[in-house]
């Protein structure tokens, strides 16, 4: 090959990489090509990731909203040697709890969520057959609001729930789980503070329940109390 031919070949411009790719894919309608070091993004993947982030944020907000709405309605109850929880039922100071929490006591010390001051309460009625009782505060403190009670018949397996109460004496505690089953029949022991009752149509949950949670609130993400843990 003579020198002039080599010079002519050396002067031929090189086809840019992107142009070469487009030319090769022209029949397929190439609209653009990646340059070295760039990353192609999949619009579907990006949209799905954004949707997942929004869903996660929405769920987080639902948790926080339910806790903010219901926790001020949950109280701690001291009944002799028994320690349990309760839920404000109305603005007159009526509190729903478990019959085994009140036991044979007629007077109680109550601590609300926004104060450590002990409040006096008295028994209104106890119904051991369903392990339920109602007590009433002598004086309703500021900040105590009635909880919203939901329809237990609408509870579904797999539904997210929160348990609020005073497990092990730790007032204002919240655990989370799902509804594990509905329509359970459970027999309570008559010893160790239980009523000995056989209770039907109970909601089973995976949310952690410990001594002290009894009488508290099982809450859905609509801020409704759907059960009283026992």
| Residues with a known catalytic role | 100, 131, 214
Supply angle C-alpha 80, 134, 164, rounded to 5. Answer: 80
SS3 67: helix
Biggest CA pair distance of the chain: 116
Q: What is the DSSP string of 100-147?
A: HHHTT-SEEEEE-TT----EEEEEEEEEGGGTEEEEEESSPPTT--PP
SS3 184: strand
| Cβ atoms of 71 and 164 closer than 8 Å | yes
Alpha carbon distance 65, 82 (integer Å): 31
């Amino acid at each position: 090959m003579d020198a002039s031919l080599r010079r002519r070949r050396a002067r031929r411009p090189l086809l840019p990489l992107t142009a070469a790719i487009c030319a090769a894919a022209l029949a397929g309608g190439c609209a653009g090509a990646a340059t070295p070091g760039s990353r192609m993004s999949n619009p579907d993947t990006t949209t799905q990731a954004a949707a997942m982030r929004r869903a996660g944020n929405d769920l987080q907000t639902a948790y926080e909203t339910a806790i903010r709405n219901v926790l001020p309605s949950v109280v701690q109850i001291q009944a002799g040697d028994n320690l349990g929880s309760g839920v404000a039922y109305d603005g007159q100071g009526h509190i729903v709890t478990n019959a085994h929490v009140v036991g044979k006591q007629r007077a109680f010390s109550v601590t609300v969520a926004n104060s450590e001051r002990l409040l006096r309460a008295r028994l209104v009625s106890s119904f051991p057959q369903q392990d339920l009782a109602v007590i009433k505060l002598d004086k309703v403190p500021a900040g105590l609001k009635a909880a919203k009670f939901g329809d237990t018949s609408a509870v579904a397996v797999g539904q997210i729930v929160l348990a609020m109460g005073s497990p092990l004496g730790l007032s204002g505690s919240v655990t989370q789980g799902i509804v594990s089953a509905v329509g359970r029949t459970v027999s309570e022991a008559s010893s160790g503070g239980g009523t000995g009752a056989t209770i039907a149509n109970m909601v089973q949950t995976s949310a952690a329940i410990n001594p002290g949670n009894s009488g508290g609130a099982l809450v859905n993400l609509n801020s409704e109390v759907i059960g009283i843990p026992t």
